[in-house]
Amino acid sequence: MIPQVIEATGKEFRTRILDEEEYKKELIIKLKEESEEYFAAKSSKESLEELADILEVIRALAVVHGETWEELEALREKKAEARGGFQERVYLIDVDDNA
């Protein structure tokens, strides 16, 4: 954890426990921050490190929304089966609503 890393350097710091609403709000802020860091990454290694951070935040957000990582993954799989995923690299250009 970050506090232990900071403590190991001999620096002083303060922490507090967030209530549920603050926690959710801060996780959303952290998700945006990690996404920006992903877009700014200069290498595949940096990109993967940022994606790992994003996954960690997503795991925490799943719990905030009342689900486990496994339940979130099951939802992702169900949606992928119904709508397809991105593995085939198909890019939808547009849809003709007049048909």
Count of Cβ atoms closer than 10 Å to residue 26 Cβ = 13
- How confident is the model at residue 5, as a pLDDT? 79
Alpha-carbon dihedral 48, 52, 54, 58, rounded to 10 degrees: 140
The per-residue pLDDT of the chain, averaged, comes to 92
Residues of the chain with pLDDT under 70: 1, 99
In whole angstroms, what is the distance from residue 20 CA to residue 9 CA?
A: 30
Q: How far apart are CA 96 and CA 98, in angstroms?
A: 5
pLDDT at 1 (0 to 100): 66
Report the distance separating Cα 99 and Cα 88, nearest Å: 26
